[in-house]
Chain A
Amino acid sequence: MELLINNKKYTVEPHQDESLLSVLRHQLDLTGSKYGCGEGACGACTVLINGTAVRSCMTKAESAAGKNITTIEGLEKNGKLHPVQQAFLKVDVFQCSYCASGMIMSAVSLLEKNPKPSTQDIMRSMQGNICRCGTHPRIVKAIQEASKV
């Protein structure tokens, strides 16, 4: 089976019901997407499928075939960080950073659909992503920062 990830084709053999997250991490060594809960409740595994944020731990690898998958590893273009990554760096958001990939992917998806989100829009759209370190105010600020670009 073929998966198109970050504009690159990969041939993979998922076992039955294997999640996209498991394939990314264990078969393809794309470990930027994180395991946090395995039930789609924390957002650490968030990737984009056809531009929309999805929880890769709840997505069967099979169901992603033929679709355009973007992971945190695919955001950087020609050595240049994505504006959202730049904004997160500029605001110096993180503590442990384990939620970073999922937060950034969710933010990218939000801004693609809603380039100028209000604070309420941001909070609502990021509700499914957990940060245990409590960097939420900085995440909101970074997304606002990125929306100005």
Chain B
Amino acid sequence: MKKHEQDLIAPEQYELHAAPAYDFSMNRRKFFSVLGSGVAVAFTASNSLGAALTDTSTAPEDQVNAWIHIGEKGNITVYTGKAEVGQNIRTSLAQIVAEELMVPVDRISMVMGDTALTPYDRGTLGSRSIPYMGPQLRKAAATARELLVNMATEQWKADRASLAVADGVVKNIKTGESIAYGGLTKGKELLKPVDDNVQVTPVDRWQVAGTSVPKVNGVSFVTGKHQYVSDMKLPGMLYGKILRAPAYGASLVSVDVSAAKKMKDVTVVHDGDFVGVAAPSPHAAGEALKAIKAEWKTTPQPSRGEIFDYLKQKSGQANGRDSNVKGDVDNAYASADIKIAQTFYIDYIAHAPLEPRAGLAEWKDDKLTVWTGTQRPFGVQEDLQQVFHIPKENIRVIQPDTGSGYGGKHTGEAGIEAARLARDAQKPVKVVWTREEEFTWAYFRPAGVIEVKAGATKDGIVTSWEFHNYNSGGSGIETPYNVASKKIQFHPVDSPLRQGSYRGLAATANVFARESVMNDLAIELKMDPLTFRLKNLTEQRMKDVLEAAAKAFGWNNMKPAQGHGFGIACGTEKGSFVATCAEVAIDNESKEVKVIRAVTAFECGAIINPTHLENQIQGSVIQGLGGALFERIDFKEGKILNPAFSRYRVPRFSDVPIVETVMLNRKDLPSVGAGETPILGIAPAVRNAIANATGKKLYTLPLAPNGVEV
């Protein structure tokens, strides 16, 4: 792991790192080869797997050639282990490289998320691509540019100061000589270390970065030509299906696969708790799966109705994790003029990426290639190594641009399952999860219980802040407001449902609870909620987004119409800042909450791509509306009761309000990620707007799956 990668594993992160569910025995041949030779033979992935463009995987990460290759014709290939899952990072990173190499962005092709071709990467998560991969590629590209100029200087025996670079060509201003990049490299590797102190293009001189470059490969998506993993097909490929347990916590007692095994061209695998089939068509695989008789033993599992008591009871009641204590919070609370003590309840929700999990696996001798839609291709490689007991060098994981993740695809289940089936079938196997499988066996945003006790002076100064989060996680748990006495703790729980990362992680829950309480304190104080927030903040960047959102919304000069309400909320995570103002209306008849308008101000340093940033902000707000208003996983005795889009409501066109964005471009600050934080403001802003409209203060996420009784 690189040093810069280590630095960014924030202690409050609660990213899923669940071990794979399977542990498969070695196959016989492998078993003998290990025993027989006594030495595992390692070889580089690129020459073993073929199709390698260039051997970047073995280039040290501090070398330019690990990241960038310039072909003889001037075509530029960039290698990064990051995954494109819809955040349009392929475009933003290409812009950053194009800027430093001074070429148009279409000269660049990005090789991403391929363990054989790209440098190691811990995963596409935590909004880290822009703040960490961005500077890495920027420095590599700038170093490459300087190398090219040096090469031209030597070749022409010229004065370096008289050389200039433009459009992929080095020119000698004095002599008029010019040479293209490809002519300098002749396609050879740039074997020089990345210069940490190289001069990069200052933000105010950006020409490609900072502009609205359209989505790279856009045509392949609007024509249906892009091949997601679920679309891929290899010669002789079989379709795999897996026998699933009837409920969480169930174990296989007995299984009879004899009838399935007799079916034509069907491969059946029974290995521990793993039972799966592969057949030449999905239909045949489905028939084979139906022919399997299995007996399961279930164990008592909590249901949704008791989940909050369960989480509270099962949590370590001690000091919890990430404990932050300052001053004497009990005393401060006791002596506060205004007090609020409130408990919030957060349901499990599903990411429900429109492309369910998919994996395609092919073995050639002892070497395995897996194509899978994951945010952690290198993580899946490690999982496969662990599950199959084979050297990592024999495993290549490739992640084609994927049908979204939102933090929900940190794992590689379908790829592992496909690989297990393919090993016995001795043919490539593809496993595509059904929607029901995706809703049931992927992982959820954690449910949680949050207890808050807050006190303020009658002048509107927050003096005490006690905040306990049970299970949902520590992200965004810290308060950005100035408080003399505080106690903030996260209490982990062993969740009954499989849970993990979500967009913004637990910050969606923590910011919701905090901003609700801040709103209610302002109501108690009869203060304007914006004024109250500003009064208790010193962080200028937070104040800036609050004021920008309020201004664009018209917070100070508009009154809500009858039956309507306004709400405001703010949050910060991963170095960026968000504030959202929302207007809601309650339908007189259905009591349904309709969000009329949402204005979100966001600041993430210097903006790399304004149109894609706007798209991320709008998308976060709209996705966030689902978790705010109606999304929740219902479950009983370990069974998911609503594993379908017809029973799990997600935002649709009719739910979409007027979504306005204000992007604060801080060219003086480093660019940070934008795929997560913009989701934080919408739920509490809507909640506070409902309180404003109806006087009704809600304490649950989702807020109003069945409307609000007024």
Contacts and interface: CB of A to CB of B under 8 A. Distances in A.
Contacts of B218: 89, 92, 94
Interface in B233-261: 233, 239
Contacts of A136: 622, 651, 653, 656
A98 B646 contact: no
B616 to A, nearest CB: 8
Given A130-B652, A132-B650, A73 B619 contact: no
A18 interface: yes
A31 B227 contact: yes
A37 B435 contact: yes
B528 interface: no
Given A92-B611, A130-B650, 11 more contacts: A29-B233, A33-B224, A36-B435, A38-B435, A71-B224, A85-B223, A96-B401, A98-B355, A124-B654, A127-B653, A133-B404
B353 interface: yes
A87 to B, nearest CB: 9
B222 A99 contact: no
Contacts of A85: 222-223
A36 B231 CA distance: 12
B404 A39 contact: no
Interface of A: 15, 18, 22, 25-26, 29, 31-39, 41-42, 44, 71-73, 75-76, 81, 85, 88-89, 92, 94-101, 104, 122-124, 126-140
A72 B226 CA distance: 12
A95 B650 CA distance: 17
Contacts of A137: 618, 622, 656, 659
A15 B404 CA distance: 32
Contacts of A126: 653
A69 to B, nearest CB: 14
A135 B659 CA distance: 11
The B interface is mostly helix, strand or loop, or mixed, namely: loop
A35 B355 CA distance: 7
Interface in B594-630: 611-612, 615-616, 618-623
Contact of A134 (B230, B623, B654): B623
B646 A132 contact: no
Given A81-B222, A85-B223, A96 B615 contact: no
Contacts of B228: 34, 98
Contacts of A123: 653-654, 656
Nearest to A14: B283
B141 interface: no
B611 A38 contact: no
Contacts of B86: 94-98, 133
A76 B224 CA distance: 11
B161 interface: no
B333 interface: no
Contact of B354 (A15, A98, A128, A139): A98
B434 interface: yes
B230 A81 contact: no
Nearest to B355: A98
B706 interface: no
Nearest to B679: A134
Interface of B: 85-88, 212, 214-215, 218-219, 221-228, 230-231, 233, 239, 281-283, 351-356, 401-404, 406, 432, 434-435, 611-612, 615-616, 618-623, 644-646, 650-654, 656, 659
Contacts of A94: 86, 215, 218, 221-222
A42 B645 contact: yes
A96 B354 contact: yes
Contact of A132 (B219, B222, B353, B659): B353
Contacts of A100: 221-222, 224
A89 B618 contact: no
A113 B650 CA distance: 27
Contacts of A41: 644-646
B214 A89 contact: yes
Nearest to A22: B282
**Which 8 A-B residue pairings sit nearest by Cβ, starting from the closest?**
A32-B224, A96-B86, A134-B622, A98-B403, A134-B619, A72-B224, A95-B86, A31-B231
A92 B212 contact: yes
B646 A134 contact: no
Contacts of B221: 94, 97, 100
Contact of A15 (B88, B227, B283, B615): B283
Contacts of A42: 354, 645
Given A92-B611, A98-B404, A130 B619 contact: no
A135 B619 CA distance: 6
Given A123-B653, A135-B618, A95 B88 contact: yes
B223 A32 contact: yes
A92 B222 CA distance: 10
Contacts of A99: 354
A34 B355 contact: yes
B222 A104 contact: yes
A128 B646 CA distance: 11
Contact of A96 (B85, B230, B612, B650): B85
A98 B354 CA distance: 7
14 contacts: A31-B227, A31-B231, A32-B224, A38-B434, A73-B225, A85-B223, A88-B222, A89-B219, A96-B401, A97-B226, A97-B403, A98-B404, A132-B352, A134-B618
Contacts of A35: 230, 356, 432
Contacts of B644: 37, 39, 41
A89 B623 CA distance: 22
Contacts of A22: 282-283
Contacts of A131: 354
Nearest to A138: B615
Contacts of B406: 132
Given A26-B282, A34-B355, A37-B644, A81 B223 contact: yes
A132 to B, nearest CB: 5
B619 A95 contact: yes
B451 to A, nearest CB: 31
Contacts of B219: 81, 89
Nearest to B621: A134
B224 A101 contact: yes
Contacts of B214: 89, 92
Contacts of B616: 95
B355 A96 contact: yes
Contacts of B227: 31
A71 B215 CA distance: 23
A41 B88 CA distance: 26
Q: Choose among A29, A76, A100, A104 the residue with the greatest number of B CB atoms under 10 Å from its CB.
A: A100
A97 B619 CA distance: 13
A25 to B, nearest CB: 7
B8 to A, nearest CB: 24
A7 B403 CA distance: 29
